[in-house]
Amino acid sequence: MAWDEGLADTFREDLAEVADRLEERRMFGGLCFMLDGHMLCGVHKGGAMVRVGKDRHAQALAMDGVSELAFTGRPMGGLVDVSASTMADDEARAALLALAMENVRSLPPR
């Protein structure tokens, strides 16, 4: 397994209120959580990724333990990489998920 299953369970718990609208998919060598057909967040080896969107990208990058997501060596706009230690911080994780939820709400329905 290329991701921390405990971290995946943490996301599942955090997203319990929208579980009926959530789908899990293996992507990017990890596990992604899709909300209403849109990528919301995911786990990978060593941490997580969160899709905050380009409008909230700078706000997310200002947080400790959050950096550009660049799996291919190039930054992926609107996606941030989150360290395992930041993911362990309930407040930080909730803030990042709130940004991601705001992003998904701004996208057209699928």
Phi, then psi, of 52 in degrees rounded to 5: -90, -15
Radius of gyration, CA atoms only, the chain: 13
What's the pLDDT score for residue 2?
75
What's the pLDDT score for residue 95?
98
Share of the chain above pLDDT 70, in %: 99
Contacts of residue 46, Cβ cutoff 8 Å, sequence gap at least 6:
83, 84
Q: Is the pLDDT of residue 71 over 80?
A: no
SS3 labels along the chain = CCCCHHHHHHHHHHCHHHHHHEEEEEECCEEEEEECCEEEEEEECCEEEEECCHHHHHHHHCCCCEEECCCCCCCCCCEEEEEHHHHCCHHHHHHHHHHHHHHHHHCCCC
Contacts of residue 53, Cβ cutoff 8 Å, sequence gap at least 6:
78, 99, 100, 102, 103, 106
Q: Which one has a higher pLDDT value, 72 or 95?
A: 95
What's the pLDDT score for residue 1?
54
pLDDT grade for 75, boundaries at 50, 70 and 90: confident
Range of the domain at 98: 5-106
Per the structure, how many domains does the chain have?
1
Average pLDDT for 11-22: 96
Q: Is the pLDDT of residue 85 over 60?
A: yes
Q: What is the CATH number of the domain that holds 75?
A: 3.30.1460
pTM of the model: 0.92
